[in-house]
Amino acid sequence: MIQASDITVLYCDFALLVINKPAGLSTLPDGYNLTLPHVKSILEQEHGRLWIVHRLDKQTSGVLLLARSAQAHRSLNTQFEQHLTSKIYHALVEGNPEWIEKTINLPLRPNGDRSHRTVVDHEKGKPALTHLKALKRFGNYSLLEAIPETGRTHQIRAHLSSESLVIFGDKLYGGRKHDNPSEIEAHAVDCLDLSKISMEGMGLHARSLEIIHPNSGQRIKFEAAYPAWWENALKLLRSTSLFE
């Protein structure tokens, strides 16, 4: 079970608390099981009352911002509503896009079934805009940058799926569940002993978040390091002949 000691604090003052959320931890209580730990319940034990400003999917890691006062919460909510923040995600995907950069402008909506997927719907969907950039290519795998202009549920995951690109380990949108990164192009790395490398979550990481500090008015940027399994997976991919 994830505890406060497992969560890296990136920044803390009287107005803000910024963490590097580990995969496997929900931002808010689970509607089906209220006994499961979540960010708010764990961190409030040490930091007092906290306000959730935005969310990350349970299996997504990276920068998560919380407010430490109602005033800061209002200011930050306004920034997100008016698109004054800048969020950058990195995605490790199965697939190799033909483009270097691309903007996806496809409306999205929840599909309403028990899987809780988000789907493209040109009639009933809400506007959704994501800017994509290919950072590295590893044969049939790629490291992408994703900058969402809107904040729809599963937006990046659904938009990548529309491009036939599936986030590594994202079973909901068609990705294979790998128990460890040695399954990536295993034929190319049979000589490596990677049995101890385990995978946590999926290949979507909130790399950075830039906001206006609610007290000082200055822009401030927070960055979160990759999880250990990400580093190991990227090292593996770079070590193979598939690296470009």
CA-to-CA distance for 114 and 2, rounded, in angstroms? Answer: 26
Tokens of 80: 């997100």
Catalytic residue numbers read: 57
Tokens of 133: 């950039």
Q: Cβ(48)–Cβ(4) under 8 Å?
A: no
Q: Cβ(147)–Cβ(209) under 8 Å?
A: no
Closest CA to 91 of 146, 155, 31: 146
CA-to-CA distance for 104 and 85, rounded, in angstroms? Answer: 19
Angle ∠(100,201,91) on CA atoms, nearest 5: 5
Name residues whose C-beta falls within 8 Å of residue 217's C-beta, 6 or more positions apart in sequence.
none
Angle ∠(135,25,132) on CA atoms, nearest 5: 20
Name residues whose C-beta falls within 8 Å of residue 6's C-beta, 6 or more positions apart in sequence.
22
Tokens of 10: 């990136």
Q: Cβ(10)–Cβ(21) under 8 Å?
A: no
Name residues whose C-beta falls within 8 Å of residue 237's C-beta, 6 or more positions apart in sequence.
138, 139, 141, 184, 185, 243
